[in-house]
Structure 1
Amino acid sequence: MRVLLADDHQILRAGLRMILADAPPSPDDETIEVVGEASTGEEAVRLAAALHPDVVLMDVAMPGIDGIEATRRLRAAGGQPAGERPAVLILTTYGDDARVREAIQAGALGYLLKDLLRDDLVRAVYGAARGVPTLDPRAQQLLMRQLHAPAPASPFDALTGRERDVLRLIARGRSNKEIAAALSLSLGTVKGYVSAMLPKLGVGDRTQAALFATRHGLE
């Protein structure tokens, strides 16, 4: 099993190389060979194209493009069949919500923190080569928290249904008179809806209201 190490700390790469070189064979009698080392995201992408590793152990914070962008490029590698692209295991000190989410979205198969046990690292590498994902328990908790978080409120929640109808037509460039005709309302009623709507949206006039509706995708 061919592994590429990507981390900007040479001492850490040396330690990882030793751990993987001493790893016992997998239940399928596989062994691990470290085929290369990269100290930047760009170098990781270049070496992966040249060395064809099965797994890339990728740090996040590196000079130039970071590990998440490097992962995105590796997993999107143009002209290379999906089955031949290396699996990427993020190995980092950063366990915040944003980085976990971005790494998974970029195509990482696993997210590990650097204080993990040696046996857990070896198990994750063998698993990654077979397509088995591995997430640090803390990363799993972060993802679960995001999944169960309430959906963000719509910027139009404060509007009544009729106010939304009026705003939709304002965004289409209709005048108050045209809106009144389209919705079978009096001109005064439309003006009342517009006056009530503006402070709810936090805008000062109908032009700003139209821009607000367009920006936030009112359908």
Structure 2
Amino acid sequence: MSGELFPRARAVVADGAVHVPGWLTAERQRELVEACRGWARGPVPLRHTTLPNGGVMSVRTVCVGWHWQPYRYTRTAGDVNGARVAPFPQWLVELGRAAVDEAYGEGAGAGYAPDTALVNFYEGGAKMGMHQDKDEKSGAPVVSLSIGDSCVFRFGNTETRTRHYTDVELASGDLFVFGGPSRLAFHGVPEVYPGTGDPASGMRAGRLNITLRETGLGG
């Protein structure tokens, strides 16, 4: 967040997991917020995802490029309205490549080719339980972008949902990339801090999280 009294330092949270505070400018955050608002209107709208056990996720999600539903990707949203999801734009590919370069060093993102984005909106006490991003066939890194309210991002290990884990505070504009040995680490969001967002981001309330991934599905 801009204007911080004590600027936060970038950190390697685990092997292959890098936190870069304040990576997104306020202008880029506003651009992303506007893009997400457009995607949330459809063709497949923002929705609460129903899990196979009947549970309903507290976050609301909209997808771009490929539609995610537990636990697979499809081009059309059979669990919502049957429509084909919005296409994945080239500018989002470029943003993903720049993010990987920032996390791992110049040139690291050259071959990165994200083709889906999961956009999660947190409001009213929404949380995310510990889980692995393992529905992709590609082992390429996951790029996570945070806008709006700050949260506790719990980053664990690849073997279990429980300890050991590290709690990281993600604020508006922060970048978090995890790949390599940390690609299948369990992670979640146990708490969001209402009213902590940067007004310059364009978010009126709540937290927006955009994760870019390579599905490895081609086509």
Q: TM-score, normalised by structure 1?
A: 0.24
Larger relative contact order (C-alpha < 8 A, sep ≥ 6)? Answer: 2
Determine which structure has the larger helix proportion and give its number.
1
Structure exhibiting the larger radius of gyration computed from Cα positions: 1
Q: TM-score, normalised by structure 2?
A: 0.24
